[in-house]
Chains A and B, each alone.
Chain A
């Protein structure tokens, strides 16, 4: 019980006014009436975490921060969920992982120090990368997504990695790519599996420091959040600066010349990039700088953007699919022909919602931010 009080105190749950704004905006509550962030907090306050650890809905929270954004007293709901999950994990409990937990096993296997991965096969001729240098490109899980999702969803996740290097090369940067980079551990952190997260963090920090990198660039908002904030929160301040690729491109926008691209585009703010890291304007500035592009904003955008429906590869169900299709409908309703997102996971989830569906109202072209920028670069 003491541990529960500690968790509630740490995440300011005692301040809860029970106003219910969290439940009003929660994307899960919108489609699943039995889920309510307010109830989760109230239950913790009245009965402690004992009941919550057995609740299957504990694993449903997307940790998208939309509720924290609206909370008038700043209850840290996502962090509260993480702490209760950590308690559940210590009791040997877990939610329902999607894909049979394959992606979680990859993360767990990555904690093994003896592992020597073969994850740099995507580097084709024409891309310039180094072994040591100032700037490092942190690839993330993209090589595994290529193996796992490429065939089903008819897209090439590695093109995100290739185009990121292409963009960096274009602005005169030759990035370091680690041969034995580990999963960043983002998902394990939010699932409360902190021991494994720490192991991955230590391995990654050591590898990055050995490469001599001062700046780490990533095309995945989750990696960016983890490297920038979560590692320093748990493992001490890191010696490198972390930037998402959209920030790098925005910084160099004056020097980049684009070809014309006739497209109507809308942008999906990934929750980690927007609400966690506060990067809203940079991707928009870059997209609107491409000549010929008409930028359309969705009904929910920026700080109020709705998540892609699944996080941590956990508890994916009909609710997730409904969130995804409603988001795709929103993009279509905004009058866009292409939905651009800056997170590979968002794209996978949206493609999954489209998979096998013939419905016209969710049929919209999906594209990663780096693919868009790279296709517009003047040759």
Chain B
């Protein structure tokens, strides 16, 4: 019993000493800095790509068939058209911890539904504005056109976006502590 109270006193005295509070925050800060630095360094981003069924998804397939080497840090979600990808889709991806989101569709004039990609542009403008107001960097979202024959371009587009998001570091909504590969 007596030992316990003594311990408590010691702890109290320790936290109240002049050297303690001055040193502590700086040490803490340094540790936090180190942590964020290391987190940035080992950081492999989680990227969600919405690819349209008719061009971009087939483009990704083409990249695979042609054995093109490119970054593996993304997951593709196939949508019937890039015009279907509303701000809600992208915001949900961010909410679930994505570090970057890309929307990909057919080139203008190639859309299977004729004007779907024009709608995608409209939706994407809203998405971009919302993402910016939320304080997530605008560079975390991208809109790209990749046709079914452009496997090489798909690889380049993904590589560039992965590099762009990696340089930004983890999203403030990415709570995962595990290193993902």
Binding site for B on A (CB under 8 A): 99-102, 105-106, 108-110, 112, 114-119, 121, 143-144, 146-148, 151, 180
- Contact between chains at B89 and A115 (CB < 8 Å): no
Interface, chain B (partner A; CB < 8 A): 86-89, 91-92, 94-95, 122, 125-126, 129-130, 132-135, 172-173
Would you list the 9 A-B pairs with minimal beta carbon distance, nearest first? A100-B88, A147-B129, A105-B91, A102-B88, A117-B135, A114-B172, A102-B87, A116-B135, A100-B86
Known: A105-B91, A119-B133. 19 other contacts (CB 8 A): A100-B86, A101-B92, A102-B86, A102-B91, A105-B88, A108-B95, A109-B91, A109-B173, A112-B172, A115-B134, A115-B135, A118-B133, A144-B130, A144-B133, A146-B129, A147-B129, A148-B87, A148-B126, A148-B130
List chain A residues, Cβ under 8 A from B125. 151
Assess whether B91 is in contact with A143, with CB atoms less than 8 Å apart: no
- What residues on A are CB-neighbors of B135 within 8 Å? 115-119, 180
A114 nearest CB neighbor, chain B only: B172
Q: A143: which of B87, B94, B133, B173 is its contact (CB, 8 Å)?
A: B133
Interface of B: prevailing SS: helix
Q: A100-B86, A102-B88 are in contact. Are A147 and B95 (CB under 8 A)?
A: no
> Is the contact region of chain A dominated by helix, strand, or loop, or is it mixed?
helix
Least distance between B43 CB and chain A CB atoms (Å): 15
A101-B92, A115-B172, A147-B126 given as contacts; is B87 within 8 A of A109 (CB)? Answer: no
Tell me the smallest distance from the CB of A178 to a CB of chain B, in Å: 13
Q: Chain B residues near A143: list those with CB within 8 A.
A: 133
| Cα A144 to Cα B86 with chains together (Å) | 15
Q: Chain B residues with Cβ under 8 A from A118's Cβ? A: 132-135
Separation in Å of the A108 CB from the closest CB of chain B?
A: 5
Contact A147 B133 (CB under 8 A): yes
Residue of B nearest to A101 (CB): B88
Q: A115-B135, A117-B134, A117-B135 are in contact. Are A100 and B172 (CB under 8 A)?
A: no
Q: Which of B92, B125, B129, B133 has the most CB of A within 10 A?
A: B133
- Chain A residues lying within 8 Å of B126, measured Cβ to Cβ, are 147-148, 151
- Bound: A115/B129 CA distance, A: 16
Chain B residues whose C-beta falls within 8 Å of the C-beta of A146 in the assembled complex: 129
- For the complex, what is the distance from the CA of A115 to the CA of B91, rounded to whole Å? 14
What residues of chain A lie closer than 8 Å to B94, measured between beta carbons?
Answer: 105, 109
Q: Within 8 Å CB of B133, what residues of A?
A: 117-119, 121, 143-144, 147
Q: Which of A115, A147, A148 is packed against the most chain B CB atoms within 10 Å? A: A147
CA separation between A146 and B92, bound complex, in Å? 20
Which residues of the partner chain A approach B92 to less than 8 Å between Cβ atoms?
101, 105
Sampled A-B contacts (28; CB under 8 Å): A101-B92, A102-B86, A102-B130, A105-B92, A105-B94, A106-B134, A108-B95, A109-B134, A110-B134, A112-B173, A114-B173, A115-B135, A116-B135, A116-B172, A117-B134, A117-B135, A118-B132, A118-B134, A118-B135, A119-B133, A121-B133, A143-B133, A144-B133, A146-B129, A147-B129, A148-B87, A148-B126, A151-B126
